[in-house]
Amino acid sequence: MTAVKITPLGAGQDVGRSCILVSVGGKNVMLDCGMHMGYNDERRFPDFSYIADGGDLTEHLDCVIISHFHLDHCGALPFMTEMVGYNGPIYMTHPTKAICPILLEDMRKVAVERKGEVNFFTSQMIKDCMKKVTAVNLHQTVHVDSELEIKAYYAGHVLGAAMFLIRAGGTSVLYTGDYNMTPDRHLGAAWIDKCYPDVLITESTYATTIRDSKHCRERDFLKKVHTCIERGGKVLIPVFALGRAQELCILLETYWDRMNLKVPVYFAVGLTEKANNYYKMFITWTNQKIRKTFVHRNMFEFSHIKPFDRAYMDNPGAMVVFATPGMLHAGLSLQIFKKWAPFEQNMLIMPGYCVAGTVGSKILNGAKRVECEGRQVIDVKMSVQYMSFSAHADAKGIMQLIRQCEPQNVVLVHGEDTKMDFLKQKITQEFGIHCYKPANGETITIPTKPKIFIDVALKLLKENLKSTGSSHLHGLLVSKDNTLRLLDPEVATNELGINFHQIRFTSTVTLEDPGTSSQTASRIYRTIKSNLKDYAVQLLTDGSISVDSVLVKVSGCEDDESKSVLVSWGYQDENLGSYLLSLVEGLSS
């Protein structure tokens, strides 16, 4: 019996600062290394002293895996590598490696240049950190060392997001990161094969939510935007730089075309251009429609959506602005909010989840006055709308993933405690498996039974089923190149270059029978012949009887009433040999 140990340093009964320590098959892996958007103190980054208090992180960790480029999953990575000193392997997909440094630098500028924070990582540290990253392809099995391997699967959510399957010591753990089981306007749905992990670690952001249809949500979004601009109001849509931003831009671009609208739509300067470059570079990560259309036109080059200038904030009349960051915790989106919030004709549409402690979270919880940077208090009179375009799996999607991969145990992370309780109960009832929800700093130990996978030759499988009529397989087990194969003995001996020797099993029955050995043999022959009409039963010249490859032979002195009857068979004739033995034993009684 082995065990998997799991300790969240972040995202344990909480959303934000994803960082999960996993010990599997004697290997220690860190899953994500994020920052918490709701804090500006030491709680912002994971507490790495938990891993090695004053010691070397590299000695205690075999690798770090980053699931995607959102800062709550990668924001602490430069701090960990360049300031704490981790120097071991780091893995992420190619798009994640390309986009991570852009978002890290944006976040660094906000923290240092605008807020004046000290003891923060520098631009050079971000570059040095990314040099240590190894980029991986989807479905590529990467051997971290001789005992630890990882494999990435498509997660949807954002460009380059991946779920990771980790195998070590005959035990496996699947970590989802953030994922979406529903395709959208620019990305496909998450996909995983039936990998039967010992433990599935899944996000549970929307543990109690079952979303309405995508079409209804989009229609409602467009209606709200149109109503606001018709009355001359301004619409602020806080977004992450890549992901929902492109999804909603495609939606508005199509609607503006169809309705022939002239109201200006803006996107934060620079980000649109950068986003387009990455979507061009990694077009294979988008959905089928985007890939097919890309041959004729790039759907990320918008004719109605223009770059935003800060001077436009005070422009009169209606407008729609996409601004970062997505939780109103800093940057341009917060500055625009402070300007527009006091006016009733304006509207804020929050298209995704907001971490507790952010301005976005406070407003969504109904706050009419909020304190922002520099203790400035803002009266919120604008209309506040929440519309979940967040690319996370809902409760239905989480259950669907569990059905697809069939884990032995489930661990819930990246969610709220009370919502996790509901989902935990549902998983236990529906699948009959253990479900856990560890808090930050809490270690859970999950016992597992190591599995040994053996490749069985199809020909051998068919022959065994045909000859024995049972599911028992007889063959030669060959271990080669870290794989186990069950082969037909003759095939195996040829492949290994050794002589074939067949082992036969022999049982002896003492038979009280007067007369000669040949008379006893004839009696046994007649009995077998009458009971096995479908078999080739032969009485050989030496007095022995053959039934296919099973041999029955009588031995003993001619005048001795006590005879020995030997029944001999090969491994493929176990059932037939046993049956003939029982026939001979029946004669003795």
Q: Which residues are the active-site residues?
A: 203
In a 13 Å sphere around the CA of 436, the CA atoms on its Cβ side amount to: 23
Tokens representing 92? 């992420």
| Torsion-angle region of 186 (φ positive above 0: left; ψ -120 to 50: alpha; else: beta) | alpha
Query: Exposed (0-12), middle (13-18) or buried (19+): which is 455, by Cβ within 10 Å?
Result: exposed
Identify the sign of the CA torsion 526, 530, 532, 534.
Answer: positive
- Rounded to 5 degrees, what are φ and ψ at 429? -70, -45
Strand order from edge to edge, sheet including 476-480: 454-456, 483-487, 476-480
Question: How many angstroms separate the CA atoms of 149 and 356, rounded?
Answer: 36
Question: How many angstroms separate the CA atoms of 324 and 280, rounded?
Answer: 21
In a 13 Å sphere around the CA of 33, the CA atoms on its Cβ side amount to: 23
Tokens representing 316? 């009169």
Question: How many angstroms separate the CA atoms of 328 and 529, rounded?
Answer: 89
Residue type, 158: V
Question: How many angstroms separate the CA atoms of 524 and 385, rounded?
Answer: 91
Of 68, 128, 75, the residue nearest 95 (C-alpha)? 68
Of 208, 214, 172, 210, the residue nearest 193 (C-alpha)? 172
